[in-house]
Structure 1
């Protein structure tokens, strides 16, 4: 039961967040329309537009979201999946702290879920710090 609360639920929730983000990103790449329209500040919209217009960052990020989200959902190398997502999570948290404070609840949720999983899998990351 403890594992369900401390590892499995955060893993699945994080997977779903990134799979929804990937679906939204790919929908935009295919149709030019978002599936989800969260409230975003003007500065946030400009940052998002720059990522999309770069031509490679947006597809790269959404591909990582998709692959890592599926890895987390199906529990295949989940510690590696979290490492793949970690730079994206940091950017999302900083984005909401600096450019779009209205999205702080999602930033807090991502931070808590990530911290829970990093702690749960700390033994798998230990060799990285030797």
Structure 2
């Protein structure tokens, strides 16, 4: 089992790229009525990425293309229905690591419609490339 607290400290103490508040309309939920509608999810990503090379070169090819990451995350979430935000978080972590070569990341998925009396419910995970939910 990975040490998530240690991984998160490594992430905070390294170069990283963050995407905050990415809003995605998703079919998300375990109740029948939730399977018939789209609800907003808000995604935060913090991805370890060495920024010295792109800073020196000024070339997008040396950088993590956060526009491509955000578009990909949106497409992955909208590709199928999900029951739990935990599923969404694990899928995002696995796909971002695999598709974009990110070695370490933190993913937060928030569902503001989950509890009427709360602003939002969220799950936050920290994963390294190669970690698996199974």
The answer to whether the superposition gives a TM-score over 0.5 is no
| Structure showing the higher helix proportion among its residues | 1
More strand by proportion, 1 or 2? 2
Q: Which gives a bigger RCO, structure 1 or 2 (Cα 8 Å, sep 6+)?
A: 1
TM-score when scaled to structure 2? 0.29
* TM-score using structure 1 length: 0.29
